[in-house]
Amino acid sequence: MTPSVTRTRAAAALRMKQIALDNQSRMIRRLRAKLATERRESAATKEGLETKDIDRRISQLVEAKKEHKTNQLALEASHKTIAGLTEIGICLSKKIERKKAKKQ
């Protein structure tokens, strides 16, 4: 073999290695771009889920507020009923005492 053939084969081998490196570089760039896209999509999905969680929590708080108001109204009605019954009890006690006083 002549020295020029050896150099030609070596040059061809170097070119093949360079092509392989270029292909790997392109593949790395594509994979990095794909990863960045997936990260953006994941962040957007996560943000959407957080928004849904916030909306759900707001709905729960609104419902709890309504329930609290209902309970508060029921409690006030109970207090009024107890106050009315207490007055009736006091009136009956006074009548009983007056009747006892009349008998004596």
pLDDT digits (tens, 9 = 90+) for 20-35: 999 999 999 999 999 9
Which pLDDT value is given to residue 1? 54
Which pLDDT value is given to residue 86? 92
Which pLDDT value is given to residue 5? 63
Which pLDDT value is given to residue 3? 62
Q: What is the DSSP letter of 52?
A: H
Which pLDDT value is given to residue 13? 85
Question: Can you list the residues of the chain whose pLDDT is less than 70?
Answer: 1-5
